[in-house]
Chains A and B, each alone.
Chain A
Amino acid sequence: MSDWYRDFANSGFGTTITKQLGLPRPGRLRRYEPGTPLLPGPAVVGSAGEGRLRDTVAAVLKDAGVTVQSPVTADGATDGEKPSAVILDATGLTAPGDLAAAHDFLAPAVKRLRATGRVIVLADPPADASSPAQAAARQALDGLVRSIGKELREGSTANLIYVPAGAEASLASPLRFFLSGRSAYVDGQAVTLSVAELPAGADADKPLAGKVAVVTGAARGIGAAIAKVMARDGAHVVAVDIPAAGDKLAEVANEIGGTAFQLDITADDAPERLIEHLRERHGGVDVVVHNAGITRDKLLVNMDAARWNSVMAVNLQAQLDITQALLDADGVLKPDARVVCVSSQSGIAGNRGQTNYAASKAGVIGMVRAWAPAFAERKATINAVAPGFIVTEMTAKMPLGTREVGSRLNSLQQGGLPVDVAETIAWLSQPGSAGVNGQTVRVCGQSLLGA
């Protein structure tokens, strides 16, 4: 589905019109293509206070072949290639006064940022601060980054990564993700890392090589996109969907060289059957993506029990039951397993007519947060992604006006694509993402809803 308005706004005539009328000017997003460099241009790295992440950042950039530029001062030279990324190491903040250094570094650098650029701020978690002043300074970054996200144009994004002491090694995978085209529609987000043991030597092109990944709801839409991205990244995908969707499911499985497993995940024996299948056919599972979801919209006062119960059963209870059964089954869930659950913007912001859906999707966020410590103990992780306005067959059926307005209510001024959600899930599934646990990452282009 093409974004006709974005294409128009980026045409010669459209540029003039939209500028003069003050209309939204959505930029083309930079999406990941295998074999392309991490960044199209150089990166500028700076710090506020005495940062402790310079080495980690330098290693990631060097590994990816990215040229690093020195910080540009307000009166400094503006020659040289424009940067594709601006990275601020703010782990040295001690008090709000230090934030001036952040401003000094960011202002000239962001001014020179090219289209589809990335602004990434690294900081310590406010909760770990040694004084209220330090906590205030760290928390201030949240407002700063979110505001930068809203000021950036032409498909550029700004995100914040909180790196606790000792979790430096955990930074590499999230830093690569936020710099890359994989995070095209992730904007204005804050992710908090945790201390984790990182596996050695991952294949950058095939980070999921040798892994078995289950994707529920894989017959179409976002689920099919997840299956495809997982397969592209090297995983063998066990594509799961209800038996009635089996023909589409088989098409997806055949396209990606995976296997189709028809299963109603709400059936009483569904966890048992899934586990049996994984044990018999694959000797276990490395990645589980709980994507299957349904909507049964009605205003609360008009909602019958069937609508409420079916949405809860598919969107939340099945995720709980299958995950619990996997944890209980000996040797099926691999020690470094990744579980990724699909939540929704509705679960964060609420949505009229979606009390059931929003409740189920908010429940998912609570679930991953609560399960994270238990997963960390087995060197596994559990996270959620919350898609915003994603262009699918479902949104294509919305009335034009509703769809156009809905898709523009975010900093990137456009709807995301199923592949944007899929890329985020595939990233969370990587062995190198061991230090991202219990998080809910929004894939919403910094939506105005629930922000």
Chain B
Amino acid sequence: MIDALTLSPIPESAQALRPAVRAFLDEALRGRPMDRLARSWMGFDAEFSRALAERGWVGLTLPEAYGGGGKDAFHRFVLAEELLCRGAPVSAHWIADRQSGPLILKYGTQAQRDFFLPRIIKAEAFFCIGMSEPQSGSDLAGLRTRATRTAEGWLLKGQKLWTTNAHRAHYMIALVRTSGTPEDRHQGLSQMIVDLSLPGVTVRTIGDLTGDQHFNEVFFDDVLLPDDALIGDEGAGWAQVTAELAYERSGPERIYGSMVLFDAWLQHLRSRPSPTPAELALAGRILAHLVPLREMSVALTARLVQGDSPVIEAALVKDLGTELEQAIPNLIADALAADPLAERPDALLQTLSYVLQVCPTFSLRGGTREILRGMIARGLGLR
């Protein structure tokens, strides 16, 4: 059976971060249109990321020796939920902060740490994650991009797909094959840090259905990587990626993706003389889902702090979280059009259109719903 996620208090020291973050956001987000804010961890703003970094809020969990905050995962949770609920555009540094930095700290050589971590912490090095390929989406173990060891370094050949931010990140941590064939599945995979400015790297942006451009296809045509592009052990890529995905899946971004919309809709209800019972019930239903989910996410954070890697539990929380994130725009769309003659605020409608159209992606990133449910089933001991 899957371990129960039990209520875990966030220490006072981490809670103490909130007022400063809120005060900063009041200033920094002033005047930004609501539908831009609704992009949140998909909203890219390098200046904003650097402003956060100046305050020490990028790499909060990385060691002080590299310029990081030296704080535990609770601090990052508090910071993340304050940023995400306000719709702060954190996409530029988010992947490096959440997973690439911790990955380099855990598996990197001293030289790799010394080089990358200070740059991540200053929001000077942005990362993307190269996992999916044209023939290898959910079935990652079948990927074909290959790095071959040569006298000069690693020769990288292949293609990644759906790589978020590849067109504006400096580095990619790519999962590639260093030995064997796709038939070897999880054996022979390794992680490489790819400098995206190297010759032979071509990034082509793919527009999404809302008109935004965040994901890409990335081609590697005999890209020569230095020997030290390898991160961690050769052939240990699968285990490293699995641990990394626990970070990706356990965070509050899997709960709060529709919060800007929800808060905007609540403001709309408050501005009217009396909300209908159906509207109140909907607000309450969303709250009743949000509260335990948030505490489940805190409980995962507590497990990370203890040094665990709660992979199955993270899958469970992510699947529940994305279900709520997707339900919110659909339910609000229904509520807002319950009276087709009523006039509604333009900004709210615009925010709704964006979130409603983009919300199918919530359960695709970081492992699809079906894959996560398969993991949960294994965790339950279904044979």
A pairs with B: no
